[in-house]
């Protein structure tokens, strides 16, 4: 019984893509994804007038694998983007600061203004040429009409992707 190597056929669509607006990083095999939304309750006795502030916090957790010879390059790129999500990305520079953070594209959601909260990598003797990766990201949109329009557009794009896949 010989040892088999892991490989990736790049003709397939990745499970998730994380980008800073210039460089896309594909996550080819996402084994688990969760989206948690925490909603803010208004203070007791508050008035009917509301400021434009976020009404909820979203956290997305992805677990997947980086496969093949490029796994270390993808690892380095993810580490670099995690740092950039805090300091400023190409997307922020191109939009004049109207958008920031990272872009996350998955089958569940499409989000801009994402920041990496935690990033971990695991190597295992049972999986050759593979790095397991776990990413926790927070959605931190700037309060604006543009942010809400992007949320609505992501629903439309998701629906089109589902329609095209059936």
53 three-state secondary structure: coil
In the block, which residue shows the tokens 């994804």? Answer: 33
Task: Cite the DSSP H helix spans in the chain.
Answer: 71-87, 90-94, 145-165
Note the pLDDT tens digit of each residue in 60-93: 999 988 888 888 999 999 999 998 888 777 777 7
Note the pLDDT tens digit of each residue in 101-110: 888 988 788 8
Average of per-residue pLDDT across 99-118: 85
Structure confidence at residue 47 (pLDDT): 61
- pLDDT greater than 70 at residue 5: no
């Amino acid at each position: 019984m010989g040892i088999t190597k892991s490989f990736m056929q790049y003709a397939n669509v990745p499970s998730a893509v994380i980008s800073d607006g210039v460089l896309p990083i594909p996550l080819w095999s996402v084994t688990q994804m969760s989206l948690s939304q925490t909603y803010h309750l208004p203070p007791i006795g508050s008035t009917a007038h509301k400021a434009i502030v976020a009404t909820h916090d979203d956290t997305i957790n992805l677990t997947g694998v980086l496969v093949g010879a490029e796994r270390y390059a993808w690892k380095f790129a993810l580490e670099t983007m995690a740092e950039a999500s805090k300091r400023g990305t190409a997307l922020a520079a191109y939009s004049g600061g109207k958008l920031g953070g990272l872009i996350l594209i998955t089958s569940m959601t499409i989000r801009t203004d994402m920041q990496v909260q935690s990033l971990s990598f695991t190597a295992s003797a049972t999986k050759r040429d593979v790095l397991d990766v776990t990413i926790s990201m927070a959605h931190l949109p700037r309060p604006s009409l543009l942010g809400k329009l992007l949320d609505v557009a992501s629903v439309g794009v998701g629906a089109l992707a589902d329609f095209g896949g059936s």
